[in-house]
Amino acid sequence: MKKKIITNAALKINPEFIEEVLPIAIETKAHILLEEGCENFVLMRKTEEPNTIVIFAIYTSKETYDWHLEQDYVKRFLAFLNGKLDAPPEVTYLEEM
């Protein structure tokens, strides 16, 4: 059985860019949810830090996760974030128990 890739990423957006970033993040999410290897993709904001976007995602395998990272809409979103973050993204890899 292939091991799932589970990620939890926190993106601390500079407050002056948050309203610009949110619609692009939501648009990118719509594309990601159509990916065959994506089991779950949840886009959230921290209640106490509304400029921090949290993304929880589950991919069926490393291959589907790697494929996801190569998609144009993912690359565009990551490039769009350039200069708009207050800190480097915090990505945590998790495993199911």
Query: Under CATH, which number does the domain 5-94 receive?
Result: 3.30.70.100
- Comparing CA positions, the residue from 31, 50, 72 lying closest to residue 41 is 31
Give the pLDDT mean for 35-59: 98
Q: How far apart are CA 83 and CA 31, in angstroms?
A: 23
- Is 2 a residue whose pLDDT tops 90? no
Pair of tokens at residue 40: 């779950």
- Is 1 a residue whose pLDDT tops 90? no
Give the pLDDT band of residue 7 (cuts 50, 70, 90).
very high
Give the pLDDT confidence score for residue 97 in this predicted structure.
Answer: 87
Q: Would you say 17 and 70 are in contact if contact means Cβ atoms under 8 Å apart? A: no
Mean pLDDT for all residues in the chain: 97
Question: Which residues contact residue 15 at a Cβ distance below 8 angstroms, ignoring those fewer than 6 apart?
Answer: 51
